[in-house]
Amino acid sequence: MKEKILDENTYNSLVVGGGIAGLTSAAYLARAGQKVLLIEKNKELGGLVNSFVRNGYHFDTGVRALEDAGIIWPMLKDLNIQLEVVKSPVSLGIENEIIAIETIADLQKYKQLLEKLFPESVNEIDEVLKVIRKIMMHMEVLYGIENPVFKDIMHDKHYLFKKLLPWLPKFIFTVGKINRMNMPVEDYLKTIVKNPSLRDIISQHFFKNTPTFFALSYFSLYLDYFYPKGGVGKLSESLKNKILEYGGEIKTETQITEVQADKCIAIDQNNNSYNYDNLIWAADLKTLYRLIQTDGIQPKTTIKFEETKRKMLKSRGTDSVFSLFLEVDEPLESFRKIAHGHFFYTPSKLGLGDTHREELDSMLRNFEKVTKEQVLSWLDRFTKLNTFEISIPGLKDASLVPEGKTGIIISLLTEYNLFKEVQKADWLTEFIHELENCMINVVTDSVYPMLKQKITGRFSFSPLNIENRVGSSEGAIVGWAFEKDMPVVSKIQYSDRSVITPISTIYQAGQWAYSPGGVPMSILTGKLAANKIIKKSKN
Ligand SMILES: Cc1cc2nc3c(=O)[nH]c(=O)nc-3n(C[C@H](O)[C@H](O)[C@H](O)COP(=O)(O)OP(=O)(O)OC[C@H]3O[C@@H](n4cnc5c(N)ncnc54)[C@H](O)[C@@H]3O)c2cc1C
């Protein structure tokens, strides 16, 4: 094939979105020799896989630790990236009971913890644990080999014959089982657990309607967590370096505001235009579908496009997250004695009950009639009954904090619309301040008694900050909400199709392209989208 000469603003591939998905796509396209440009709206790359420093304390903006899922390590190996990592063991705690999860055998400790707190539900706990064990076996199959998408199957005969082929029948069998466990975890637990508090304690730190398999597989994932030395952002940094090493270009502080599909042109906020042969959209999909101009595109394609757009725009993102960042004048050792640096903690065994969904929904339906006092009283209960994800980067890598100090990130899942309504009512700053106070009080009164007196600095990110920063609809942190009518592929055996859009020169990747999303699937879809383009350019 005759090689095309490309002018300055013309690219074989344009990748929009410098999160982990876009970085993966751009690295693979650049390695394949494509002229590729990665465009990112923020100054920093990484999106929700990012770290930053404030007053000498290193914090992670989004994800707190990484799970391989048979994807991250094979990708790093394939791109010849050396990433220095440590294990990121998890602790689980409810009230005064705290256990460390270090091996599969610790599942037994979890069982004992639940039995101690809910002695009247021993049989039900036994049932739940049986299901978790079964799911763990399925997970071993699912993630048990390096994902073939990152392997050179044609040349790696050992992998092909000794690993992939023997694995395939087990995979097909397991996928069948997984697809049958798609029911929302809240509904599934109702079939085996009568005690509503116990159900909440097991499931309340998952997104609304999380598929049972995904939620109950978390025990396996706890064992899989690792942490790059220097913070999770090091993963994004290593991919950025690879893109540059392979000759790819990166443009930050540039936001794509229009895509003219028929002309294959993307336009940024300063009216600069970029010509492309193929585009990968690795950012929020509602945004893409809103800004694509389809004039001049074949009517058949336009019909398909409009149908997909309608589906996307009527769907919404998952729950969002509120994260509180604390600079604490207390040595790491004080916290190490209590729990690991990645800690899921529930201060009360009562569980959220109706507080989280029904009460909040009813408040949001009539928000103009709800008083500030009612909202704050709800907030007080919401924080006392919730489950927190607590991350202490210094316990994973002591170089991430000033000597003798500790940086802590405390977060909880929360509803974007609540922040939107409070903002409309014009008391967002006060609300956020109160939420921070509630979280600090609850955690001090329950698990870290020294905390409140030793805080020297604090700030937080709300769902609205997430929306503004990475452009994520509804501030969602893993893509689409778990609804029946999912607008994207949600079956692992069809993941290859998840990156296709109705327009043949535009692909999609990242947490919005496949559900359930998250870091590993964002990386996988980033690679799948790059593969499609590389294959096309060879034909
Ligand atoms: C607190 C928290 C905890 C999490 N925990 C986990 C976990 O335990 N396990 C897990 O797997 N996942 C977890 N996640 C989710 C995970 O971090 C994300 O799903 C994943 O990082 C998404 O990557 P992405 O590249 O698809 O999207 P993003 O990271 O959102 O990247 C999209 C990028 O596109 C840019 N962009 C948007 N619009 C434009 C535009 N018009 N022009 C140019 N650039 C644009 C954005 O600025 C952003 O950098 C967590 C997330 C958070 C916030």
Over residues 61-104, the pLDDT tens digits come to 999 999 999 999 999 999 999 999 999 999 999 999 999 999 98
Angle at alpha carbon of residue 305, lines to 507 and 175, rounded to 5°: 60
Which tens digit of pLDDT belongs to each residue from 329-351? 999 999 999 999 999 999 999 99
Same domain, 144 and 205: yes
- The answer to whether 390 and 343 have CB atoms below 8 angstroms apart is yes
Ligand 1, atom nearest to 23 Cα? 25
Residue 494 confidence (pLDDT) above 70: yes
Q: How far is the CA of 466 from the centre of ligand 1 (A)?
A: 9
Q: Measured in angstroms, how far is the CA atom of residue 199 from the centroid of ligand 1? A: 29
- Global pTM reads 0.96
Q: Do 108 and 238 fall within a single domain? A: no
Predicted pLDDT of residue 1: 41
Cα-to-centroid distance, 25 and ligand 1 (Å):
14
If you measure from the C-alpha of residue 54 to the centroid of ligand 1, how many angstroms do you get, rounded to a whole number? 21
Q: Which atom of ligand 1 is nearest the CA belonging to 48? A: 29
Show Cβ contacts of residue 388 under 8 Å, excluding neighbours closer than 6 positions. Answer: 343, 344, 345, 346, 347, 410, 411, 412, 439, 443
Q: Which atom of ligand 1 is nearest to the CA of 42?
A: 47
CB 237 within 8 A of CB 511: no
Give the phi and the psi of residue 397 in degrees, each rounded to 5.
Answer: -150, 105
Strand order in the sheet with 342-346: 97-101, 90-94, 342-346, 388-391, 406-414, 320-328, 455-461
Domain-terminating residue out of 454, 473, 492? 473
What number does the ligand 1 atom closest to the CA of 60 have?
Answer: 1
| 171 part of a folded domain | yes
> pLDDT of 293-337, one tens digit each?
999 999 999 999 999 999 999 999 999 999 999 999 999 999 999
Best residue for ligand 1 mutational test, from 48, 206, 408 (most atoms within 8 Å of Cβ): 48
Alpha-carbon gap, residue 441 to 84, rounded angstroms: 36
Token couple for 532: 């499609």
pLDDT tens-digit map of 504-528: 999 999 999 999 999 999 999 999 9
Asked if 299 and 421 sit in the same domain, the reply is: no
Residue nearest to atom 31 of ligand 1 (CA): 19
314 C-alpha to ligand 1 centroid (Å)? 21
Residue 335: both structure tokens together: 């916290």
How confident is the model at residue 86, as a pLDDT? 97
> Does pLDDT of 4 surpass 90?
no
pLDDT given at position 330 = 98
Residue 95 lies in a domain: no
pLDDT digits (tens, 9 = 90+) for 437-480: 999 999 999 999 999 999 999 999 999 999 999 999 999 999 99
Instruction: Please tell me the residue having the least CA distance from ligand 1 atom 6.
Output: 63
Atom 8 in ligand 1: which residue has the minimum CA distance?
63
pLDDT class for 137, splitting at 50, 70, 90?
confident
Domain check: are 130 and 177 in the same one? yes
Inform me whether the pLDDT recorded for 2 exceeds 70: no
One-letter amino acid at 183 equals M
Mutational test site, ligand 1, from 24, 61, 63, max ligand atoms within 8 Å of CB: 63
CA–CA distance, 235 with 243 (Å, rounded to integer)? 13
CA–CA separation, 462 and 321 (whole Å): 7
Whole-angstrom distance, CA of residue 218 vs CA of residue 516? 13
Strands of 362-446 (E only): list them: 388-391, 406-414
What's the gap in Å between 51 CA and the centre of ligand 1? 13
Residue 236 lies in a domain: yes
Q: What is the rounded average pLDDT for all residues in the chain?
A: 94
What residue has token string 């994932």?
221
Q: Which residues in 365-473 belong to E strands, given as ranges?
A: 388-391, 406-414, 455-461
Residue 387 has pLDDT above 90, yes or no: yes
- Note the pLDDT of residue 498: 97
pLDDT value of residue 176: 85
- As a whole number of angstroms, the distance between CA 38 and CA 237 comes to 14
Whether pLDDT at 355 is above 90:
no
Query: CA distances (Å), 269 to each of 144, 274, 310, 421, in order?
Result: 44, 12, 25, 29
| Rounded Cα–Cα distance for residues 470 and 19 (Å) | 9
Strand ranges (DSSP E) for 447-509?
Answer: 455-461, 506-508
**What lines the ligand 1 site, CB under 6 Å?**
16-22, 39-42, 47-49, 62-64, 67, 255-256, 282-284, 287, 321, 323, 411, 470-472, 477-478, 510-511, 517-520, 522
5 pLDDT tier (thresholds 50, 70, 90): low
Q: Is residue 96, in this structure, part of any structural domain at all?
A: no
- Ligand 1 centre to CA of 156 (Å) is 32
The answer for residues whose C-beta is within 8 angstroms of residue 176's C-beta and 6 or more apart is: none
* Contacts for 470 with CB less than 8 Å, ≥ 6 apart: 19, 42, 47, 48, 283, 284
pLDDT at 392: 98
Instruction: Give the number of other CB atoms < 10 A from CB of residue 54.
Output: 12
Same domain membership, residue 283 and residue 365 = no
Say yes or no: 240 and 197 in one domain.
Answer: no
Q: Are strands 85-87 and 225-228 parallel, antiparallel or unpaired?
A: antiparallel
**Does residue 230 have a pLDDT over 60?**
yes
Domain count within the chain: 3
- Answer yes or no: is pLDDT of 378 > 90: yes
User: Are 281 and 294 in a shared domain?
Assistant: yes
Q: Is the Cβ–Cβ distance between 225 and 66 less than 8 Å?
A: yes
Atom of ligand 1 nearest to the CA of 39: 43
Query: What mean pLDDT is predicted for residues 482-488?
Result: 89
- Residue 47's pLDDT band, with cuts at 50, 70 and 90, is very high
C-alpha 174 to ligand 1 mean position (Å): 28
62 assigned to some structural domain: no
Atom number of ligand 1 nearest to Cα 69: 11
Pairing of strands 10-16, 36-39: parallel
Which mutation among 214, 477, 515 tests ligand 1's pocket best, with the greatest number of atoms within 8 A of CB? 477
Q: End of a domain among 168, 185, 215?
A: 215
Ligand 1, atom 26: nearest CA belongs to which residue? 510
How far, CA to CA in Å, does 366 sit from each of 208, 363, 369, 381?
21, 6, 6, 19
362 lies in some domain: yes
Average pLDDT over residues 118-144: 91
Q: Is there a domain that residue 221 lies in?
A: no
% of the chain surpassing 90 pLDDT: 85
The domain spanning residue 247 has which CATH number? 3.50.50.60
In sequence order, which ranges of 102-208 are alpha helices (DSSP H)?
A: 107-117, 122-142, 157-158, 165-179, 185-192, 196-203
Cα of 144 to ligand 1 centre, how many Å?
25
Ligand 1 atom closest to Cα of residue 411? 1
Do residues 425 and 534 both lie within one domain? no
Q: Whose CA is nearest to atom 9 of ligand 1?
A: 518
Same domain, 324 and 468: yes
Closest residue by Cα to residue 242 from 85, 84, 76: 76
Mutate to test the pocket of ligand 1, among 519, 523, 525, 527 (most ligand atoms within 8 A of CB): 519
- 274 with 187, same domain? no
Residue 181 confidence (pLDDT): 86
Q: Nearest 5 degrees, angle CA 268-CA 269-CA 272?
A: 45
Number of H helices, E strands in the chain: 21, 20
Question: Does 140 have pLDDT greater than 90?
Answer: no
Question: Is residue 439 located within the same domain as residue 410?
Answer: yes
- Is the domain of 251 the same as that of 190? no
Domain end among 189, 215, 241 = 215
Domain carrying residue 499: 10-50+70-83+232-315+481-538
Count the Cβ atoms, other than its own, within 10 Å of residue 129: 17
Question: Cα of 19 to ligand 1 centre, how many Å?
Answer: 6
Q: What is the pLDDT of residues 158-214, one digit of tens each?
A: 999 999 999 999 988 888 888 888 899 999 999 999 999 999 999 988 888 898 988
Beta bridge partners of 16: 39, 281
Give the Cβ contact number of residue 310 at 10 Å. 12
Task: Please give the average per-residue pLDDT across 107-119, as a whole number.
Answer: 95
On whether residue 243 sits in a domain, the answer given is yes
236-290 per-position pLDDT tens digit = 999 999 999 999 999 999 999 999 999 999 999 999 999 999 999 999 999 999 9
